[in-house]
Amino acid sequence: MQWFEIKNWLELSTGLDRDSLHIYAGVAVQLAVAVIFRRSLANPIPWLFVAIVALANEYHDYSRIPATMNASQETYDEAVRDIWNTLLLPSVLLVVARFYPNLLTGMRNRSASAEKLDEVTPSV
């Protein structure tokens, strides 16, 4: 079974369109690489793997166009949309994990709760 057939099978078996599959695949690759290499989502390595996989997939799709057919503007637009869909959510996760980790961990809320608890609790 070739890669194109696998992608068609995934689309048919899940009932999702290709744009949705690109979104899910990007997040799945990022999380899988983070777990396998024991890296945080704040580390750019999982995101780079997503970018490499997205570019390789689009190269594969582009290379399937027969030499007798010229790639149209629609083909390029579709490739850009696929890369955009694949990288958008992993990019958001990278930025949030790197620059705003409190949004993911809730550490700010816990520290504020601990301070309030210290104020209420009498010292001995």
Give the 3-state secondary structure of residue 66: coil
**Residue-wise pLDDT tens digits, 19-67:** 889 999 999 999 999 999 999 999 999 999 999 999 999 888 887 766 5
What's the whole-model pTM score?
Answer: 0.76
Find the distance separating the first CA and the last CA of the chain, reported in whole Å. 72
| Tokens linked to 66 | 């027969």
The amino acid present at 98, given as its one-letter code, is: R
In the numeric block, the tokens 């027969």 are attached to 66
Gap between the Cα atoms of 47 and 91, Å rounded? 7
**Residue-wise pLDDT tens digits, 67-93:** 556 667 777 888 899 999 999 999 999
